[in-house]
Structure 1
Amino acid sequence: MRRLHFAAESGQAGFRAQLAEQRWDDHRFYHQSLLNQSLHFVSACTFLIAYVLLFTDPALASLLAWGVAMTSRQAGHFFFEPKGFDEKNQVSHAYKEEVKVGYNLARKYVLMGAWGAAPLLLWLQPDLFGMIQAPHDFEGYLRHVGIAWLMLGLLAIALRVAQLTVARDFETGLVWAVKIVTDPFNDFRLYRSAPAQLVKGRRAGDQLAA
């Protein structure tokens, strides 16, 4: 019985260690720009509101999450994060893209392409080829888009967990999924001071403790 208890504690410690490592690598490799950190703070606040709305209005929560939180979050990565040689970590951008556990920039282009295609598809095919009831007005159309984006988010997480399970192991995928879901809480804590620092005229964020 004591051995089982010890094994459980060891497993929990290993899970927490992997989660901390993934979070730290994500921060030090992909969040050096203070503009990116500030946008992640905006994204985190928006995601937290969306999490609350998810229990009462999933469509609206998804519209808020994808329309504001995800666009601000990914804009920070695409436009403001440096992509040259990383002097702080002494690694190339290509290396960081290769070892990225979650969605690297190449995968994000595919994901955001699907995000942009969903509203267009529902506009051209309001009933989704007879699979759903066509909306009666623009609000109904937006709610369909929200649900489509919610399904896309869940599918994106499930697919990446499956890929990581095949490439590495299930625990790595599960740790990443937990990281993704809890990122808004962690980003709020890490980057809450970034907007004030940006206003003061700083350009690059400090490395924060893991």
Structure 2
Amino acid sequence: MRVIGPEDLEAAAQAIEGGGLVIIPTGRWYMVCADASNAQACDDIITGKRRPSGKPLAYVAPSVAACKDRFILSPEAKRLASAFWPGDLALLLPWKNPEDATQHSAVGSPALVTIAPGILGDLASAVKVPLAATTANISGDASPNDPGPAITIDQVHSFLADSGLEADFIVDGGVCPAANHMTIVDCFTTEARLVRTGLVHQRAISAALGTEIRTA
């Protein structure tokens, strides 16, 4: 495992294309990334994180055009994508092709889709495979002493030791400032519903939709 800078994303992309794992900084926290179509790599992440069965990894699309190639975007989804992508918003979207859903089972059906800003978005554009990502932390620890996902390189190393995961590269982005979740909106249902609040505020979602969004 090597710590590299953001200027070395090509090496990180090649590692993911080869079935490896890479840890990337975002404005929120560090994320573990893998080839979304590589079942073994994704299963390794899910097992290492002790992530509940059926809780998907995020699918990080490189662009809205690429997202439309694989997923069906409702009018509401298109409005939210236009307002907040790239950004800290993920949408639950139906696959266009059922075979794609089968080949990318770790990101779910409907899939949890985002277009990320910064280094994570740059990596999604650099890789020649679909990118899956999730937070660098052990799932399910809600104790008062749980610090949440890693926001520093030292915390990334602690996560790797606790999870047993072996990352090919950690991209050093310093301290992640926000330490908060993406907002999730379900656009698979007839009417968009707010699944989880996060950095994109519920009021902003409602403003972009032109109507008060309901919670799922």
User: TM-score, normalization: structure 2?
Assistant: 0.24
Larger % of strand: which?
A: 2
Larger % of helix: which?
A: 1
Larger radius of gyration: 1
